[in-house]
Structure 1
Amino acid sequence: MTAAVTPGREVVLETDRLLLRPWRVAEAVIQRELWTERDPRVPPHRRIDADGHPTVAELEDSIRTDHPSSIGLLAVERKAARDVIGYCGLIDGGRESPREPELAFELLRRSWRQGYATEASWAVLDWARLSGYERLWATVWDWNTASRRVLTKVRFTETERKEVDPTHGTTLLLTRRL
């Protein structure tokens, strides 16, 4: 994995097959596709609502106003195909401390089961370690076995903490020392 921070403090990570970089406005359609593919068990505020929000235009505005920083969700681009297939990065999970952000990833269904989420996660973990983070968190629904497998592969371990939601499922809290 190689990492670079561009003048605006934009993080760019590269693996053998992937480039993780800031989102471009034209890629709002990919973000919208991610929203449309979400499992119906995902809470409504993370899915397209009855009025069709967020729209592509709203997602474009979000990309335009997102200020580059050392924490955020990076577009995952396949280098060979030059297409964006989802995101991976760090978010302020608000779990324990600002120095312990949360790993997050989501890929389009057509790119599942090819190791991209694991590869992107390793790149983010390597970058986080080089940036001085000592521990990361992750949350995952108990029913999301694919994401749980990815988190296991990148050596996250489940904690005793769980958030039970009878409608959407139990959210598991995992952690990893870097």
Structure 2
Amino acid sequence: MSTPVISTERLILRKMNKDDVEHLMQIFSDPEAMKYYPSTKDEKQTMEWIDWTLGNYAKYGVGLWIVENKETGEFLGQCGIVPQEVDGGTEMEIGYLFARRVWGKGYATEAAMACKNYGFDQIKLKKIISLPDVHNIPSAKVAERIGMKIEKTIHKWGKDVFVYSITN
């Protein structure tokens, strides 16, 4: 078991590794969970996602982390801090994606809040954003619950997304 990057009341956030393919496939193979992504992902695309994440760890010291139930070790989803291009600059985004079977239990908000605190306290970010699809109300609500406000709407990934942000 790898060392947690962040620990909350109910959750452990740990670094992703190549053995997480099966975990991530619980989300990536689910059309409902992937509704606001271009498509579901197969195993090869999931490995590419893991490689991209490992690259972020190496380059930025952050990335998406695997979220597990603290008591049972059950895989719940992923949440973390990822670099995103917004209007020609790089912003640090809190991203989250959880298995549908655990939706509605507050895990995304708890994990996102922990990532916000980590971003401000540990890596001294001045500003953190979130980029939910304009139609993804649950994701937008998570951003709002951790104190973010809508800054603007941009066109990214071939669709309109809100830019939520919070500054330290």
Contact 2:63 2:80 in 1 (8 A): yes
Mapping 1:141-156, distance limit 5 Å: 141-156=133-148
Say yes or no: does 1:89 pair with 2:84. no
Say yes or no: does 1:135 pair with 2:127. yes
For structure 2, the 5+ residue unaligned runs are none
Specify the SS of the correspondent of 2:29: helix
Q: Which residue of 2 aligns with 1:77?
A: 68
Q: How many residues align?
A: 160
Letter in 2 for 1:155: G
- Residue 28 of structure 1 deviates from its aligned partner by 1.1
Determine the C-alpha separation between the residues in 2 that align with 1:94 and 1:136: 13
Q: Higher mean Cα deviation, 89-98 or 148-157?
A: 89-98
Q: Which one has a bigger Cα radius of gyration?
A: 1
Cα deviation, 1:57-82, whole Å, max 9, x if unaligned, reads: x6289459925442100000111121
- Residue 162 of structure 1 deviates from its aligned partner by 2.8
- Residue 159 of structure 1 deviates from its aligned partner by 1.5
Say yes or no: does 1:55 pair with 2:44. yes
- Residue 93 of structure 1 deviates from its aligned partner by 0.6
Cα deviation, 1:115-171, whole Å, max 9, x if unaligned, reads: 100100111111111121010111111211111111110011112333288xx7531
- Residue 55 of structure 1 deviates from its aligned partner by 3.5
Mapping 1:6-155, distance limit 5 Å: 12-37=5-30, 38-44=33-39, 47-48=40-41, 53-55=42-44, 59=47, 62=50, 66-67=54-55, 68-69=57-58, 70-95=61-86, 97-98=89-90, 100-130=91-121, 131-155=123-147
Letter in 2 for 1:59: M
- Residue 43 of structure 1 deviates from its aligned partner by 1.4
Aligned-pair identity in percent equals 20
TM-score (norm 2): 0.81
TM-score (norm 1): 0.77
Determine the C-alpha separation between the residues in 1 that align with 2:110 and 2:138: 14
Specify the SS of the correspondent of 1:55: helix
159 and 61 in structure 1: CA distance in 2 versus 1, 3 angstrom threshold: closer
